[in-house]
């Protein structure tokens, strides 16, 4: 009974919305993405419940990004979802909110990487910085990109490198060793020789743990 009431109230009692949402989920399960996108587009204008709107926009954005080659449109759609989130939800996000933030952050990061590969540094920087404006599960990867992107500014490189190292779960042991090496070089460039020696020791320890050899 509780599940039935939840289904009815998914869009404030609008049964046709709930039925279309069921179709969206069925198309997703069957990997029928074009049909899923069309159904989401049909569903969106009739929604009245903010949570339902966020759910549909999120599903549609992921499909646009991954399968419809509409990456910038997908990011714009996730920005809409982001703007709809209550400010209090960022402090202790529930599972749905964190899922939205993880998707949005990943999209911003991936476009930033693509722009960097195309040597569009300023645009890449804008996407990376937006991706660090909220907490999400792989934010450490963005800090690493910023560290290397801003390498000619040792102070900023160090700042982002420290933030990246604080997100250790985002990286493989090999990547962690690489960051220790980069931090050693950045600290030397900034004239912070005591800190450089600390990171050099950490780099040696990382090498020993990762590769099983003393440096």
The per-residue pLDDT for range 136-174, each reduced to its tens digit, is: 999 999 999 999 999 999 999 999 999 999 998 789 999
For 49, list phi and psi in degrees, rounded to 5. Answer: -85, 125
pTM recorded for the entire structure: 0.92
Cα–Cα distance measured from residue 93 to residue 89, given in angstroms and rounded to the nearest whole number? 5
Question: Which residue's structure tokens are 């040696």?
Answer: 204
Of 97, 116, 135, the last residue of a domain is 135
Q: Are 65 and 37 in contact (CB under 8 A)?
A: no
Q: What is the mean pLDDT of the chain?
A: 94
Q: Are 43 and 22 in contact (CB under 8 A)?
A: no
Domain end marker among 102, 135, 168:
135
DSSP assignments along 117-135, one per residue = HTT-HHHHHHHHHHHTSS-
* Cα–Cα distance, 103 to 66 (Å, whole number): 11
Domain count, the chain: 2
Is 168 in the same domain as 187?
Answer: yes
Contact 60, 21 (CB under 8 A): no
Tell me which residue has tokens 């039935």. Answer: 4
107 and 40 co-located in one domain: yes
Q: 214 falls in which pLDDT band (50, 70, 90)?
A: low
In a domain, 165, yes or no: yes
**If you count them, how many residues does the chain have?**
215
């Amino acid at each position: 009974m509780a599940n039935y009431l939840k289904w009815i109230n998914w869009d404030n009692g609008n049964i046709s919305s709930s039925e279309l949402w069921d179709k969206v989920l069925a198309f997703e399960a069957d990997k029928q993405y074009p049909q899923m996108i069309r159904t989401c587009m049909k569903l969106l204008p009739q929604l009245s419940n903010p949570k339902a709107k966020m759910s549909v926009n999120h599903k549609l954005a992921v499909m646009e990004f991954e399968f419809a080659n509409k990456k910038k449109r997908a990011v714009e759609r996730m920005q809409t979802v982001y703007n709809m989130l209550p400010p209090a939800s960022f402090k202790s996000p529930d599972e749905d909110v964190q899922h939205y933030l993880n998707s949005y952050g990943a999209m911003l990061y991936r476009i930033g990487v693509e722009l960097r590969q195309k040597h569009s540094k300023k645009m890449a920087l804008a996407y990376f910085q937006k991706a660090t404006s909220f907490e999400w599960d792989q934010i450490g990867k963005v800090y690493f990109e910023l560290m290397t992107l801003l390498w000619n500014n040792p102070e900023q490189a160090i700042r982002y490198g420290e933030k990246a190292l604080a997100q250790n779960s985002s990286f493989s042991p090999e990547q962690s060793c690489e960051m220790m090496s980069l931090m050693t070089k950045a600290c030397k460039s900034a004239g912070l020789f005591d800190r450089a020696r600390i990171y050099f020791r950490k780099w040696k320890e990382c090498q020993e743990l990762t590769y099983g050899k003393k440096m």
